[in-house]
């Protein structure tokens, strides 16, 4: 799945939105990734890679997804989520 197809899927499924300045995540996505991060934290997962909670959230939202479709979605979501995280911390 090419990146533009992955992004189109994420927009169509209500996980991404566009504002005047950049692509942003939606409350639906934010809730899914928060649940995924909480599950990982409770399980004691020693993760520092943002792709892990992104993948966990996508698997929650798309339970039947295979690796061949999951990987492009994770890679498409990674820069958006990293930008949102930086913005929340007040970083440029």
pLDDT at site 92? 65
C-alpha to C-alpha distance for 75 and 87, rounded to whole angstroms: 19
Q: Please report the pLDDT score of residue 74 as a whole number.
A: 97
Rounded CA gap, 23 and 49, in Å?
21
What is the spatial distance between Cα 46 and Cα 83, in angstroms, rounded to a whole number?
22
Query: What pLDDT is stored for residue 44 in this prediction?
Result: 87
Parent domain of 10: 3-88
Low-confidence ranges of the chain (pLDDT < 50): none
Burial label for 76, CB within 10 Å (0-12, 13-18, 19+), is buried
Number of domains in the chain: 1
Nearest 5°: CA angle at 64, between 63 and 68?
115
Average pLDDT, the chain: 91
Token pair recorded at residue 82? 């990293």
């Amino acid at each position: 799945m090419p990146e533009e197809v992955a992004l189109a899927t994420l927009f169509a499924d209500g996980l991404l939105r566009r504002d005047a300045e950049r692509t942003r995540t939606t409350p639906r996505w934010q809730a899914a990734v928060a649940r995924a991060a909480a599950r990982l934290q409770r399980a004691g997962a020693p993760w520092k890679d943002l792709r892990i909670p992104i993948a966990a959230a996508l698997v929650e939202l798309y339970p039947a997804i295979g690796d061949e479709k999951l990987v492009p979605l994770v890679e498409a979501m990674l820069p958006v989520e990293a930008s949102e995280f930086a913005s929340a911390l007040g970083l440029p």
